[in-house]
Amino acid sequence: MYSQRLNLGAGASGPRPQSRAPEEQAVTPRQTRNRDRADRGIPEATVARLPVYLRALHALQDRGVATVSSEELAAAAGVNSAKLRKDLSHLGSYGTRGVGYEVEYLVYQISRELGLTQDWVVAIIGVGNLGRALAGYGGFASRGFRVAGLLDADEAIVGQEIAGMTVEHIDRLEDVIADRGVSIAVIATPAAAAQGVCDRVVAAGVTSVLNFAPVVLSVPDRVDVRKVDLSIELQILAFHEQRKAGGPGDYEPVGDGDRPSGTAQYVEAVEL
């Protein structure tokens, strides 16, 4: 058993460390990723597929499967097996001929690569419909993300209890980030407020932002922004539906051309 594997599920079943040494708090996801990958050159397309492999591996673990062939894992993840083997080779994982990959160790390797073997502290800014849903989503903790702050500008919302946390006023943003070691900010405000919020979290030292607002955020180079836009995903599905129905236009896959199936993986990064 790998100790880091245990840590992945700790949020759901037991307490996580509430505080870290200052030098540990200062490490951001980006810094860790850059440090770990600096010399290995793992392609971003591979990185984007690792969470998909991880999800498939967790499903195998849940079924008590100890080893898996590249073909089985590739089928479960919706990619071809050659691409899967190539992806995993970037992690130094080649499997064993005739046996395949050891599920538990591969979970550990991918989790380590994605920075999931440690806790990431998250603040959700904008606690409306979406912010509430995100705050109540149990899946973050089991994947190593701990929501440590809910902030909103609306006095009627501030002070409310949501998912066991009290919503704080946005005026406290900088203090919350500093005091709780927030390294990822989730922005779920209206579009008009998003850039201002983003500027503040960046000024407070956050270098990873997950943006749900329908606006392209300007950030310094050192900051990673991932944008989630469900309407774009629906438009992509509409495009494919149209093609299935024999609608206009021949389709040429662009870019990677071998993206895994399933909707959750289709969350696009329009900025990085």
Ligand X SMILES: NC(=O)c1ccc[n+]([C@@H]2O[C@H](COP(=O)([O-])OP(=O)(O)OC[C@H]3O[C@@H](n4cnc5c(N)ncnc54)[C@H](O)[C@@H]3O)[C@@H](O)[C@H]2O)c1
Contacting positions for ligand X (CB under 6 A):
125-131, 151-154, 157, 170, 188-191, 193, 196-197, 212-214, 228-230
Q: Please report how close the Cβ of residue 204 comes to ligand X at its closest, in angstroms.
A: 14
Q: Please report how close the Cβ of residue 175 comes to ligand X at its closest, in angstroms.
A: 15
Buried b (16+ CB within 10 A) or exposed e, 87-119: bbebbebebeeeebbbbbebbbbbbbbbbbbbb
Tokens of 248: 């206009």
Single-letter amino acid code for the residue at 111:
S
Q: Which is nearer to ligand X, 8 or 123 (CB)?
A: 123
Q: Please report how close the Cβ of residue 153 comes to ligand X at its closest, in angstroms.
A: 4
Q: Which is nearer to ligand X, 43 or 214 (CB)?
A: 214
Place of tokens 């840590």: 7
Quick one: angle between helices 44-62 and 70-77, nearest 10? 100
Q: What sign does the dihedral 141-145-146-149 (CA atoms) show?
A: negative
Q: What is d(CA 267, CA 231) in angstroms, rounded to the nearest whole number?
A: 10
Q: Please report how close the Cβ of residue 262 comes to ligand X at its closest, in angstroms.
A: 17
**Is 247 marked as binding a ligand?**
no
**Is 73 marked as binding a ligand?**
no
Nearby residues of 229 by Cβ (< 8 Å), 6 or more positions away: 212, 214, 268, 270
Q: Please report how close the Cβ of residue 148 comes to ligand X at its closest, in angstroms.
A: 16
Q: What is d(CA 104, CA 201) in angstroms, rounded to the nearest whole number?
A: 36
SS3 at position 257: coil
**Is 127 marked as binding a ligand?**
yes
Q: Please report how close the Cβ of residue 73 comes to ligand X at its closest, in angstroms.
A: 29
86 CB neighbour count, 10 Å cutoff: 12
**C-alpha closest to that of 9 among 116, 91, 104:** 116
Q: What sign does the dihedral 82-88-93-99 (CA atoms) show?
A: negative
Q: Which is nearer to ligand X, 6 or 191 (CB)?
A: 191
Q: Which is nearer to ligand X, 79 or 150 (CB)?
A: 150
**Is 129 marked as binding a ligand?**
yes
Q: Which is nearer to ligand X, 3 or 231 (CB)?
A: 231
Q: Which is nearer to ligand X, 76 or 210 (CB)?
A: 210
The enclosing H or E element of 209 equals: strand 208-211
List, as residue ranges, the binding site: 126-131
Annotated binding site for NAD(+): 126-131
